[in-house]
Amino acid sequence: MSTIVLSLLIAGVAGFLAYRLTLRRVPHLIMRRAMATIGKAAGGTNRLFHGKRPTATARQVVMPAPDLIYSSCVYDLSWGPVRLQGPVAEGYWSLSAYAENTDNFFVANDRELPERRFDVVLTRKGERLPAEFAGVTAIPAPSDRGILLIRMFIGDGSALDHIRDIQQAMRCDVLPRH
């Protein structure tokens, strides 16, 4: 009888742990799939992929917003800090960063960048940048891999040419690690 009681106790604990583990793994699995898809479209990690206006064929990420145009980059800090820079679009524009567990750990929009340019470096936590990058915004990332996403509002559609120009002027570079 004691074996059965002990088994029931262990089963309860194992069930609880399996529940927690499943919930914890789901975001990582879905994020990895999204990173693989975006990374493939961009030609690798730490490279920008410039999307077009989402349609029903857009299957990279659930609930794509058809009122936005996205540029995205799968970052991988194991190669070094990742620098992203470029002009900010007229109208709504935002840059957001996501960790491997899906957390949105950084966001800035056009209203917070009155100079109409952005220049950020994603780093590992505690990592210091050389003095030559003193004016650049350093963003410590909670994970080595994740996604950088730039959203640009299409509005009534008249901004599409402007947004394409903005996309072409963006740069993503890996910096040497010191």
Q: List contacts with other proteins (CB under 8 A).
A: 3-4, 6-8, 10-20, 22-24, 26-27, 30-31, 34, 54-59, 61-67, 92, 94, 96, 98, 101-105, 107, 109, 111, 142, 147, 149, 153-157
Q: Tell me whether strands 68-76 and 171-174 are parallel, antiparallel or unpaired.
A: unpaired
Minimum CB separation of residue 121 from other proteins in Å reads 20
The two counts, helices (H) then strands (E), for the chain are 2, 9
Minimum CB separation of residue 40 from other proteins in Å reads 17
Minimum CB separation of residue 26 from other proteins in Å reads 4
The dihedral region occupied by 62, where left means phi > 0, alpha psi between -120 and 50, and beta the remainder, is: beta
Token pair listed for 48? 């920008």
Question: Among positive and negative, which fits the CA dihedral 119, 147, 48, 176?
Answer: positive
Among the listed residues 172, 174, 105, the one whose alpha carbon sits nearest the alpha carbon of residue 142: 105
| Residue with smaller CB distance to other proteins, 60 or 167 | 60
Minimum CB separation of residue 107 from other proteins in Å reads 5
- Contact call for residues 90 and 163 (beta carbons, < 8 A): no
The SS3 call for residue 63 is coil
| Residue with smaller CB distance to other proteins, 95 or 175 | 95
* Structure letter (DSSP) for residue 6: H
| Residue with smaller CB distance to other proteins, 149 or 175 | 149
| Residue with smaller CB distance to other proteins, 39 or 80 | 39
Minimum CB separation of residue 3 from other proteins in Å reads 4
| Residue with smaller CB distance to other proteins, 21 or 169 | 21
- Contact call for residues 163 and 152 (beta carbons, < 8 A): yes
